[in-house]
Amino acid sequence: MTTGSEPDCELEMVNGINGIYYTRGLRIVTPYYHSRTSFAKGRWLGRTLADVLTDEFKSFSSEQCKDRAHKDFQIIRDDIELSSAETSTAEIQNKDIIKTTFHKHEPPVRQWSSDESDTKNGDRIAGFEIVHECSDLLVLNKPCGIPIHPTGQYYKNSMVEALKAQGMNVFPTHRLDKVTSGILVMGKNPVTANKVQHQIRQRTMRKTYLARVEGCFPKTLDRISPGDADFPTATEACADASRATKEESEMYTIELKKQFPAAFSAARDATTWFYPVKYFPESNHTLVACQPVTGRTHQIRIHLARLGHPIVNDPFYNKIYTKFPKRLQFILNLPNWDNTDLSRKSLESYFQDFVEEADFAQGMEAANNRRTCDDCGVVLYPDPKLQDLELFLHAWNYSDSSGELSYETSIPKWALGS
């Protein structure tokens, strides 16, 4: 999705970094041209770029592919860049390098600091709160609303690139969704990063999250008052086994960009322990500590939804807010799609419903947006709302079984009260 700020909005340049601005609580990267190169693949040899594009991108017409081959691509042969006319007609040869140039629109992210250039002011770097730092590790309290590393449309609007702009090269050791906040462990070198990743794979690292969920969670007691200075540590919050709720149900993903049946991943075992921390009667919400034993995609969010206590502002797994109710209901009702009485034909029918549901949601959004980029012609969607860039799920504590590593963040505001 391509977004663009309104042209008449108030913009504040970020610490003199050209092309990056703050506006309305968002960090904006102005569109820019970006080039990348790659070696020609074997299946492309002896064919023109237009032929290759037509074959690789079925959604584009042959005329669109010819136009893109002329405007956006260039063949580099024996260190010589062919002209646009030559690139359009040349047959690709072995060892050719294909250069792609495109107009990049990065989605805005949530502004996390008023001063990113404050590289080391005690407890911050690039505006991010430092939880721990030594010669090999940098542990940060990740803000919500920003991806960790370049992915998809995000590049400059990522934590890794923001840190790099301040002279800090890091290697993330684990995932956190864009909308999730909390502990982020990064190595300052590949060796340290690989060591931590190995510990995670061996399940010697224990992770504790905080989530604010709908309703009164099972076994909840009025343990603390909102804003209480004696807020428990992660260890204390999960100490009473008699108050724990264990959720064991399988996980899988449904990737609509893939074809059926490859879109359905294999179901895998998943286990999460939940401990109620505090009930907020005025909102009928519960603050819950969550300890995932496995590390499946969206595991905590799905397990909470299956228990009937979704995260209060979850845009996908909370039935109140989701734009994809059919897909959500399928995931909640069928922990293992491959272990049911559904026929292949029925499963394919469900998948088609999911595709149509997603297309409808995207079409509704596009119908309300008529602005296009003057340079590249893509549709410019409105900037996201701040509340859509925050999920009430926070990585609170990371520790290993030996006790050698243990990191805990401060408590997010939404966890302290109504």
First to last CA, the chain: 33
Phi, psi for 37 (deg, rounded to 5): -125, 155
Measured distance CA(50)–CA(62) in Å, rounded:
7
Q: How many other C-beta atoms can be found within 10 angstroms of the C-beta atom of residue 377?
A: 8
pLDDT value of position 3: 62
Residue with tokens 């595991």: 299
Catalytic residues: 177
418 residues of the chain, pLDDT tens digit each: 566 554 444 455 555 566 899 999 999 999 999 888 999 999 999 999 999 988 887 667 788 888 888 888 999 999 999 998 999 899 999 999 999 988 999 999 999 998 887 665 578 999 999 999 999 999 999 999 999 999 989 999 999 999 999 999 999 999 999 999 999 999 999 999 999 898 888 878 899 999 999 999 999 876 555 555 578 999 999 999 999 999 999 999 999 989 999 999 999 999 999 999 999 999 999 999 999 999 999 999 999 999 999 999 999 999 999 999 999 999 999 999 988 889 999 999 999 999 999 989 887 776 666 688 888 878 888 899 999 999 999 999 999 877 778 899 999 999 997 6
pLDDT value of position 62: 82
The pLDDT tens digits of the residues spanning 123-163 come to 899 999 999 999 999 999 999 999 999 998 999 999 999 99
Output the six-digit token pair for 397: 């504590």
CB 71 within 8 A of CB 375: no
Measured distance CA(332)–CA(327) in Å, rounded:
9
pLDDT value of position 379: 80
pLDDT value of position 340: 85
| Mean of the per-residue pLDDT values of the chain | 89
pLDDT value of position 8: 40
pLDDT value of position 333: 94
The pLDDT tens digits of the residues spanning 219-235 come to 987 655 555 557 899 99
Measured distance CA(24)–CA(382) in Å, rounded:
13
pLDDT value of position 7: 40
Q: How many other C-beta atoms can be found within 10 angstroms of the C-beta atom of residue 187?
A: 19
Query: Residue 186 class from Cβ within 10 Å (0-12 exposed, 13-18 middle, 19+ buried)?
Result: buried
With CA atoms as reference, report the closest residue to 158 among 212, 220, 122, 104. 104
Output the six-digit token pair for 87: 């690139």
Domains contained in the chain, CATH given: 32-104 (3.30.70), 203-418 (no CATH)
With CA atoms as reference, report the closest residue to 188 among 174, 164, 168. 168
347: DSSP letter: H
pLDDT value of position 364: 74
pLDDT value of position 12: 53
Describe the crossing of helices 49-56 and 62-71 by its angle, rounded to 10 degrees. 130
CB 263 within 8 A of CB 355: no
Residues sharing a CB contact under 8 Å with residue 113, sequence separation 6 or more, in sequence order? 124, 126, 127, 128
Measured distance CA(140)–CA(128) in Å, rounded:
7
